[in-house]
Chain A
């Protein structure tokens, strides 16, 4: 059980991101207005966006340390990232989408493990179908199964449920809650939904203009703000 610890600084035009936090295993929800830097923060943690200064470590594994010239390439960071648009590969079926992250698993075991993951999120029946045939909720479930395929040390969720109706959101939020209990790794979840924060979060970071302006237990942070974040 390893904490995620990061200290990041980047300046892009008028926008500055400057954060230093620790996320223990469990769900850390990041809230804040649009343009506050939530998605940028996830991208920098994954290594998909450059930072000017900073350090990212999961437990004793250092992924980025600008001062020491350490920068582990994105593909060597053992993380899972569920993108806002999900980014399922349109040319691969659900099974192959999930297997994509399993290249270090022996070939003979991949299919069985991928099917188990699809079954775990309730969409095993979609295994041979391509993403264009999925409903919104089905696509989300496949994306979550794919994210879990790497046995990650860190999970990053960038508003994955934003396009879903309330009922589906509730189902998938419950699924993430269950998975968080099983994975026991830091899960950083960007959301605009107060309901999601209440159901999921162990810790909340509220970001505004690239800086953390509040942190703590959901009840404490949410007490300070309205329902609209």
Chain B
């Protein structure tokens, strides 16, 4: 049995994790901005992927990034490729699914930073960017790490959005066209290849649980370091 589906899923999840960590940290910081209009609505929109059916999200992404959309045309002009039914589409799908989890974790991390420490940094001559880089983010690191790990695990397990946006078979980096692990398990099960479905399911579960376990340990160690 080829493990390419798992490798593809790990590639997608790794890139989605990195993108959602950067975008999610930006959104979490934006939500701390005192003058943000209707913050509750912004929060609801960012959290929507947690409650919307994956097919609904997938539909929105298809409309927003399809070959006839502004985003789709712009991406094609820039790279010569489409977003939909490609590796990029799978990354976008996984990123959208994991973003709310990342934002929530980063927000918890940011809220754990004592305001007095930020004030102290300012009185010591640090401008907003230096305060962010040298005090806020290092002290919020447990939240960022937890968010990255949760985002990775969520991206690894995505099925519905990926199926809608990227289709069943995708070409990964250095891989032949194959299915992500989540879709592979379904296809194998439906195709009566139960052993292959079972093996992939077990290994994917082990990888996912291991990542969450490591995330918990790392986060705890950070908090205990004070």
Contact = CB atoms under 8 A, between A and B. Distances in A.
Interface of B: 114, 116-117, 119-127, 130, 134-135, 138-139, 226
A132 interface: yes
A1 interface: no
Interface in A95-134: 100-101, 103-104, 130-132
A81 B123 contact: yes
A90 B113 CA distance: 11
A98 B139 CA distance: 18
A83 interface: yes
11 contacts: A74-B119, A75-B125, A81-B120, A83-B120, A89-B121, A89-B139, A100-B134, A101-B125, A131-B226, A150-B124, A150-B125
Given A100-B134, A103-B130, A87 B119 contact: yes
A28 interface: no
Interface of A: 46, 48, 73-77, 79-81, 83, 85, 87-91, 100-101, 103-104, 130-132, 146, 149-150
A2 to B, nearest CB: 18
B117 A75 contact: no
Main secondary structure of the interface of B (DSSP, over half): helix
A90 B125 contact: no
A131 B139 CA distance: 14
Contacts of A88: 120
Nearest to B124: A101
Of A76, A103, A131, which is in contact with the most chain B CB atoms at under 10 Å from its CB?
A103
B4 to A, nearest CB: 41
Contacts of B123: 46, 48, 74-75, 77, 79-81
4 cross-chain pairs, A with B, having the tightest CB-CB distances, nearest first: A87-B120, A101-B124, A81-B123, A74-B122
Nearest to A76: B125
Given A75-B127, A91-B138, A150-B125, 12 more contacts: A73-B122, A73-B127, A75-B122, A76-B125, A77-B123, A80-B123, A88-B120, A90-B139, A91-B139, A100-B134, A130-B226, A149-B124
Nearest to B222: A91
